[in-house]
Amino acid sequence: MNMKAITPLEVKCLKVVYLRGIYNGLCVNCKGTISDERLLQFGICERCLENVENLRSWKDVLEALKEKGRAYFAHEIYDFHKRFNEFSLFFKRAVGQRMWSLQETWARRILLKRSFSIVAPTGVGKTVLGTVAALYFAVNGKKSYIIVPTALLAYQVSEKIDAYSERFGIKPRKIVYHAGLSEKEKRAALEKVASNDFEILITTERFLVSHSDVLKGKSFDFVFVDDVDSFLKSPRNIDRILTILGFDNSTIS
């Protein structure tokens, strides 16, 4: 094999050629083709907007598209960014600090209504995020169910929700059920669950087994299971969760 060494002068004369890509169906507005360069600039192709250099936010992008009569699907992205920013501010006010990058990733999935599991060490803010999310949904008129492994954790989560609520001056309808309650408190809690008189329900895993009949017909917008590893050891627990999430028996089977 013949080889030739490149001199410094020849190196200076070398021309750098960039390989460009065209991606089919990835324009977030028209679902058409888009170049790699424009994909990094709001994800709007040249056919939808010739120039995006002077645009600084998604609000600017949406207004420019509307002016040209080319607003197709971009409003969905704008609405999501708006909701995420709203949730970020809500979290910061509740907790007293902004979300970590991991929490932001999980928050996006929650707002997109995606089911997922979190594998992360203790102390990264999983429970805090789930608790704030439940309060956020309650403020927006939606129901949440938080499942924890022990009565102590149920009490602690309830206390956190109370502390966060005080910072907003609100008092969501909250039901906490665990073994530490008196018989009278348990009966009162079960009656409220049965009558759907709550926005946030907090129970231990045992509640799903002992009182699954009370949950029949109940639907939730957000379900957060803390310590999911122990919970998923029982296949029946998975079926119960899928049921209260709205899946029918044929789908679960």
Averages of pLDDT over each 10 residues, the chain, 253 residues: 56 59 93 92 93 89 93 91 96 97 96 88 89 97 94 95 96 94 94 94 89 85 83 72 72 68
Distance CA 185, CA 191 (A): 10
8 A C-beta contact, residue 102 and residue 125: yes
Residues 6 or more apart in contact with residue 77 via CB below 8 angstroms: 28, 43, 58
Task: Give residue 228's pLDDT.
Answer: 66
Rg (CA), the chain: 25
Domain with CATH 3.40.50.300 in the chain: 127-252
Note the pLDDT of residue 66: 94
Angle of helix 126-139 versus helix 101-111 axis, rounded to 10: 40
Q: What residue type is 135 in one-letter code?
A: L
The predicted structure's pLDDT at residue 227: 75
Q: State the Cα torsion 167-168-171-177 to the nearest 10°.
A: -60
Fold category of 127-252 in CATH: Rossmann fold (3.40.50)
Global pTM reads 0.81
Backbone angles phi, psi at 102, to 5 degrees: -65, -45
CA 151 to chain centre: 26
Q: Are 57 and 42 in contact (CB under 8 A)?
A: no
Strand partners, 227: none
- Count other Cβ atoms within 10 Å, centred on residue 191: 12
216 in Cβ contact with 161 (< 8 Å): no
pLDDT of residue 208: 82
The predicted pLDDT at position 106 comes to 96
Number of H helices, E strands in the chain: 13, 6
